[in-house]
């Protein structure tokens, strides 16, 4: 049953991620991103990483995707202009496909990665919520605050850059 659930969540996550990339509508792309994150959270639950699944759903699915949808709906984005460099995007797609196939081939030829020994890791090393929260509010506090500040600047930049300029309203 566990392997079946893993396969189901994996296919669901990859299909939704492809939907993010392929979707021409920004709202549909954001919804596919949300579903892809839910699939990854399901994979985390299967790994018994409940805190990571909860944080993923709370932070990314709850806040970031809601922010994306808010900005998309605030700016009333329709489809943008078509990109003129089709040859470049085709070339980049082929390179990415070749790298993916090369990685899959190496993984299948060299075999599966070995799981670390459970006894060597020790019981509950860093697996408690207290340890996670201590690390978050001491060691990683500055990076978390910097990322939050950069997201705020990016959101404000998108709003400022998307304002339509009407020459009739120019005070000069």
Cα end-to-end span (Å), the chain: 70
**Would you say 34 and 61 are in contact if contact means Cβ atoms under 8 Å apart?**
yes
As a whole number of angstroms, the distance between CA 172 and CA 170 comes to: 6
Q: Which residues of the chain have pLDDT under 50?
A: 126
**Cα(59)–Cα(56) distance, integer angstroms:** 6
Which of 5, 14, 58, 55 shows the shortest CA–CA distance to 35? 14
Q: Are residues 99 and 68 in the same domain?
A: no
Looking at residue 47, its pLDDT comes to 87
Note whether 37 and 105 are same-domain residues. Answer: no
pLDDT 10s digits, 5-31 = 888 999 999 999 999 888 888 788 888
HSE-CB of 48 using CA atoms within 13 angstroms: 4
Torsion of Cα atoms, 146 then 149 then 153 then 159, to 10°: 140
40 and 30 both lie in a single domain: yes
CA dihedral (23, 161, 163, 63) positive or negative: positive
What pLDDT score does 69 carry?
75
Chain position carrying tokens 């809601």: 66
Q: Which two tokens stand for residue 97?
A: 């496909």
pLDDT tens readout for residues 96-118 = 888 888 877 777 776 665 655 55
Do residues 87 and 135 share a domain? no
pLDDT of residue 11: 92
Q: Which two tokens stand for residue 88?
A: 């470049």
CA–CA gap between residue 124 and residue 132 (Å, rounded): 12
Let me know if residue 71 belongs to a domain.
yes
Helix (H, G, I), strand (E, B), or coil: what is residue 165?
coil
Cβ 23 vs Cβ 35: under 8 Å: no
Q: Are residues 31 and 21 in the same domain?
A: yes
C-alpha 105/C-alpha 63 separation (Å) is 37
| Domain residue limits at 143 | 126-167
Closest residue by Cα to residue 132 from 55, 59, 61: 55
- Residue at 172 is within a domain: no
Same-domain status, 97 and 75: no
């Amino acid at each position: 049953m566990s392997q079946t659930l893993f396969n189901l969540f994996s296919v669901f996550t990859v299909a939704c991620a492809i939907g993010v990339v392929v979707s021409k509508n920004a709202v549909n792309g954001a919804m596919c991103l949300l579903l892809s994150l839910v699939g990854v959270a399901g994979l985390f639950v299967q790994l018994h990483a409940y805190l990571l699944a909860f944080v993923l759903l709370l932070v990314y699915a709850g806040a970031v995707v809601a922010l994306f949808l808010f900005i998309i709906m605030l700016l009333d984005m329709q489809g943008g202009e078509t990109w003129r460099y089709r040859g470049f995007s085709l070339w980049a797609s082929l390179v990415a496909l070749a790298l993916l196939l090369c990685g899959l081939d190496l993984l299948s030829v060299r075999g599966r990665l070995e799981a670390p020994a459970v006894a060597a890791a020790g019981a509950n090393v860093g697996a408690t919520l207290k340890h996670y929260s201590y690390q978050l509010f001491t060691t990683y506090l500055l990076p978390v605050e910097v990322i939050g500040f950069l997201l705020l600047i990016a959101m404000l930049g998108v709003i400022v850059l998307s304002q339509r300029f009407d020459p009739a309203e120019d005070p000069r």
